[in-house]
A and B are shown apart, each in its own frame.
Chain A
Amino acid sequence: MHIPDGMLPGEICAAGYAGSAVLTWICIKKARSSSEDPAGIVSRASVMAAAFFVVSWIHIPLPPVSVHPILAGLMGILLGWLSFPAILVGLFFQAAMFGHGGFTTLGVNALSMGGAALLAWALYRMLRGKSGERAILISGFAAGFAGVSFAVIAVGTVLILTIPAYINTGAEVSAVLAMAAAHLPLALAEGIFTALVARFLLRVKPDMLM
């Protein structure tokens, strides 16, 4: 899911940085104005950034590709606006420590995964309604499923639209579609996981849900 260095044209990388900088500013501003407990939400964002950093190492081989959990939906429903900056920080450390992703593609990767978290959160809020475990299970599943799906769609679109002329376009498009298909089981798994976490939090700590 992480696009490494050297795979995207310079102008796309620059646009990714510009877009993620603007979105980070908006998210931080919104989080400060909407949260009654800014220190508490930053504390939670740090823990979730750590979780995001670690889960990318849990590798699931689905030949010919390899997938890993993203947790975009869970980040969205637990952090709200701060999910984007938290994912950006996690991606930075993944690139810096292990070369997972890349520095030139950091902005694009942040927009795809962080943007997916924000969209998943919006979907969760739309579906959640007022209360009830059934509603939380449905909206939690939708958020987890959509978090992976939105990220895959974003990454796949960027990759297909920027295929270099020297690459066999048909083969690369097929590879991207295979990559997208391989993420379907992951999207289902993250949907179930997010739904269960959301229901658990509704029972024991409902104020953690954004």
Chain B
Amino acid sequence: MHGNPMKILLSSAALLMLTAPVFGHGARVVWEMQDDSVHISASFDDGQPLARAQVTVFSGAAPSVPYIVGMTDENGEFSFLPDKEKSLNWDVQVRSAGHGDIVNLSLTEESTVKNEQGKFTTLQIVLMSACVVWGFIGTAFFFASRRRR
């Protein structure tokens, strides 16, 4: 960086923008009511199923005692029948090698699909990442300019 830091930083910024995020890695759990049962679908952010992950269901009435334990199938799916008289609030943890998520289910509303938060479009992800990357590059410019004084 002694020779031409501006050129190096600009090249780095361009390279980072070109490799802008397209794929994800975190886990996402989506649930919906199917008749009286709750259907869980767990996947990585890119859609790859979180297969054979351990599922633990806790009721709001006894949040530290597992109500049901099980495992997702090859498609990352799992279903259970909640006892609505016991509680209307449920926590579901999906876990495989430390990857997974915990979702809170509130069975009081009419809508079927509840948990879609964290699901960004590719454009949103690119823009969000670009903003953060630009922050880093801006910081780099700031310190590079201090070096030249």
> Which positions in A face B, CB cutoff 8 Å?
2-7, 37, 39-40, 42-44, 46-47, 49-51, 53-59, 61, 63-66, 68, 93, 97-101, 155, 159, 166-168, 171-172, 175-176, 178-179, 205, 207-208
Contacts and interface: CB of A to CB of B under 8 A. Distances in A.
B95 A172 contact: yes
28 contacts: A2-B25, A3-B98, A4-B99, A6-B93, A6-B102, A7-B98, A39-B143, A39-B146, A40-B1, A42-B143, A46-B136, A46-B137, A50-B13, A50-B136, A50-B140, A54-B20, A57-B24, A59-B25, A64-B51, A64-B52, A68-B25, A97-B128, A100-B26, A101-B26, A167-B56, A168-B54, A172-B95, A179-B99
Contact of B98 (A66, A68, A159): A159
Contact of B16 (A2, A51, A176): A51
Interface of B: 1-3, 5, 9, 12-13, 16, 19-27, 44-46, 48, 50-54, 56, 66, 69, 71, 93, 95-102, 118, 120, 125, 128-129, 132-133, 136-137, 139-144, 146-147
A53 B1 contact: no
Contact of B26 (A51, A99, A179, A205): A99
A131 B1 CA distance: 21
B70 to A, nearest CB: 10
